[in-house]
Amino acid sequence: MARSDTDAGLGDGGSDRRDPCAAFRLDGRTALVTGASSGLGRRFTEVLVGAGARVVATARRADRLAELADAHPGAVVPVAADLAVAAERERVAAEAEAHGPVDIVVNNAGVADPRPIEQESLEDFERIIGLNLTAAWHLAKLVGTGMAARGSGVVVNVASILGMVGATPMKQAGYTAAKGALVNLTRELALQWARKGVRVNALCPGWFRTEMTAGLGEDERSAAWIGTNTPIPRMGEPHELDGPLLLLASDASSFMTGSLLVVDGGWTAR
């Protein structure tokens, strides 16, 4: 006999269907956010805290992490680390798990260094791949293995539309290669862990105002290029990723895995 909507919850998602907003709550959950000291990572941390999560926030800049923790006493645990170093990633994962099983990982740390390939050294390429891709793979493995053993968890990989389309004239082979690989890593991990209760999705922003894109919105030629190529003719603002992030991090996306959530003002629809 089929259940009615009134006595069925989100089923395996675990939230009450009668209160749609409840599916977005993260009360009692622990999240790990990388690249949390500035830009989107700081915003993501604040959004998850606002939804009820405790967040282990990691980045290199200890002073900024301390400010973030002071602004959210008891809700943000700062862990300064250089995620380009494998041993540091292992330490971060261990410290995060020491605060309780990690329910959510947001792989947000990244670096870009736009330049033509003729000017991009092997060291540049390896550095960009290391932080944007290898670090995300490693943290997903370190924390996701425990999630799979417990039978629940969420990984959100912050990719980019530049993992789906080329960047030129903003030339950056290393960054596009890393983000493209992160997109397919998301799909593969989603398949490997789907039957173990762990969901893996990617958030793919377009051009947003962040520390990484500083100057683009103010430079007349760059602003014109973005405005011309974006159907909603402007850069995105960080708060416009709040909803998409909460969707992927919460039970609201309980039947989503291996998905790419594109938030780009229509850039990739052209």
Number of Cβ within a 10 Å radius of residue 242: 17
Instruction: Look at the domain 19-259 and name its fold.
Output: Rossmann fold (3.40.50)
Per-residue model confidence (pLDDT) at position 6: 35
Is the CA virtual torsion 78, 161, 24, 21 positive or negative? positive
Quick one: pLDDT at residue 213?
Answer: 64
Low-confidence ranges of the chain (pLDDT < 70): 1-17, 212-218
**What phi and psi values does residue 119 have, to the nearest 5 degrees?**
-105, 0
pLDDT score recorded for residue 5: 37
For residue 124, what are its two tokens? 């540049």
Domain ranges of the chain: 19-259
DSSP classification of residue 32:
E
Q: What's the pLDDT score for residue 12?
A: 55
175 as an active site residue: the answer is yes
- Residue 171: how many CB atoms within 10 A of its CB? 16
Q: Which of 186, 192, 176, 161 is nearest to 264 (CA)?
A: 161
Residue of 128, 173, 175, 183 marked active site = 175
pLDDT at 54: 98
pLDDT for the residue numbered 8:
33
pLDDT number for residue 217: 59
Question: Nearest Cα to 158, choosing from 190, 206, 196?
Answer: 206
Alpha-carbon gap, residue 139 to 46, rounded angstroms? 21
Q: How much is the pLDDT for 220?
A: 81
